[in-house]
């Protein structure tokens, strides 16, 4: 998957996550509105029923009043009934208006909620699209810059190797490309091998020959260095010699297999160094510390140190903490 596809998928996933989040927010808001509505709207029905009951009760009481007085004048009764119905109708109309207003208020809340959620989603999507366009542009620039840098590095590597071949040829008096072995021993300052990490890397193999190491070069030649001597720097790392004064290196003939006389172990993890993937090594040291007081308990502490080998500088370097974390070593 290239960066363009990855960034696009990442943007789409952000949109989906935001949509789910806003849908949940909308659902909660609509549920709250519905709860308010279900509590409020039945009150208007109850008010209408109560108004009708009160009106009927008033008519009943009026009829009983006229009956008790022995008065059954039809005109008065009809006028009272008409007045009662008008009053009831006016009351019900007022309650209905309040009910419609409340219903419209809830509808407005629902509409406003849906519009607000949709606007948030639209704004977020627009922001993601803008960021995606910016990231794609930056990635394109980074790729162009990386390509230009790689081309420049390739040119510098080829130039360094050409200079090396010329230097090696002059030091041996033979052509470096004639496959005649170069066996210069002693001062290697004019035959130090240029360090590169790409396809033009000059060393393609090493063979330990007693106290020397014969390096096979990509140009078909060989160069001999004293065991423990870094062919890229022409110097020896102090750790290449142990406490007994014996040489102790890995099979490449110059990289020490210890740091401060503590044996290195391969963690299996990798770190990128100048475009080259190199192993992460570790050493473990145990120290004892006696607690305070007469009966203080002695405790032991194990410390793990992590390194990677940098051939160009002929030394082990400490692995940064952030890389250790990403490699699961911290």
104, containing H or E segment: helix 74-172
Q: How confident is the model at residue 77 (pLDDT cuts 50, 70, 90)?
A: low
pTM of the model: 0.46
Q: How confident is the model at residue 120 (pLDDT cuts 50, 70, 90)?
A: very high
Is residue 184's pLDDT more than 70?
A: no
Q: Collapsing DSSP states into helix, strand and coil, what is residue 180? A: coil
Which of 185, 190, 188, 181 minimizes the C-alpha distance to 216?
181
Q: How confident is the model at residue 300 (pLDDT cuts 50, 70, 90)?
A: confident
Which of 100, 94, 88, 89 minimizes the C-alpha distance to 41?
100
**Residues whose CB falls within 8 Å of the CB of residue 265, separated by 6 or more in sequence, listed in order:** 281, 282, 283, 284
Quick: pLDDT tens for 144-177: 887 887 677 666 666 666 666 666 555 544 433 3
Q: How confident is the model at residue 248 (pLDDT cuts 50, 70, 90)?
A: confident
Quick: pLDDT tens for 217-235: 776 777 788 888 898 888 8
> What does pLDDT average to over the chain?
80
Is residue 196's pLDDT more than 80?
A: no
Higher pLDDT, 254 or 233: 254
What's the rounded mean pLDDT across residues 304-322?
A: 91
Quick: pLDDT tens for 83-108: 777 787 888 888 889 999 999 999 99
Helices 3-68 and 74-172: angle between axes, nearest 10 degrees: 170
pLDDT of residue 291: 63
Residue length of the chain: 330
Q: How far is CA 63 from CA 59, 77, 79, 83, 260, in A?
A: 6, 8, 12, 14, 116
Residue 98 sits at the vertex; the CA angle it makes with 92 and 103, to the nearest 5 degrees, is: 120
283, containing H or E segment: strand 276-290
């Amino acid at each position: 998957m290239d960066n363009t596809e990855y960034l696009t998928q990442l943007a789409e996933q952000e949109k989906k996550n935001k949509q789910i989040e806003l849908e949940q927010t909308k659902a909660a808001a609509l549920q709250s509105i519905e709860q308010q509505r279900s509590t409020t709207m039945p009150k208007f029905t109850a008010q209408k029923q109560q108004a009708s009951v009160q009106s009927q009760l008033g008519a009943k009481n009026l009829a009983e009043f006229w009956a008790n007085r022995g008065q059954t004048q039809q005109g008065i009764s009809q006028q009272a009934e008409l007045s009662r119905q008008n009053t009831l109708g006016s009351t019900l109309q007022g309650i209905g208006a309040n009910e419609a207003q409340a219903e419209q208020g809830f509808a407005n809340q629902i509409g406003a909620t849906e519009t607000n959620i949709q606007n948030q989603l639209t704004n977020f999507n627009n922001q993601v699209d803008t960021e995606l366009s910016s990231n794609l542009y930056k990635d394109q620039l980074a790729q162009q810059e990386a390509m230009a840098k790689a081309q420049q590095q390739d040119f510098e590597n080829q130039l360094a190797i050409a200079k090396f071949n010329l230097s090696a040829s002059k030091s041996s008096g033979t052509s470096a490309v004639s496959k005649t072995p170069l066996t210069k021993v002693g001062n290697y300052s004019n035959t130090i091998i240029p360090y590169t990490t790409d396809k033009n890397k000059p060393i393609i193999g090493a063979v330990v020959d007693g106290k020397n190491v014969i390096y096979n070069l990509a140009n078909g030649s060989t160069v001999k260095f004293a065991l423990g001597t870094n062919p890229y720097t022409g110097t020896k790392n102090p750790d290449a010699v142990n406490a007994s004064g014996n040489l102790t290196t890995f099979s490449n003939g110059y990289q020490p297999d210890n740091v401060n006389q503590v044996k290195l172990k391969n963690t299996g993890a990798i770190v990128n160094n100048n475009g080259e993937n190199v192993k992460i090594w570790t050493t473990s040291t145990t120290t004892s510390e006696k607690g305070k007081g007469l009966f203080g308990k002695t405790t032991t502490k194990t410390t793990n140190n992590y390194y990677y080998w940098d051939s160009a500088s002929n030394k082990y370097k400490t692995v940064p903490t952030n890389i250790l974390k990403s490699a699961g070593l911290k």
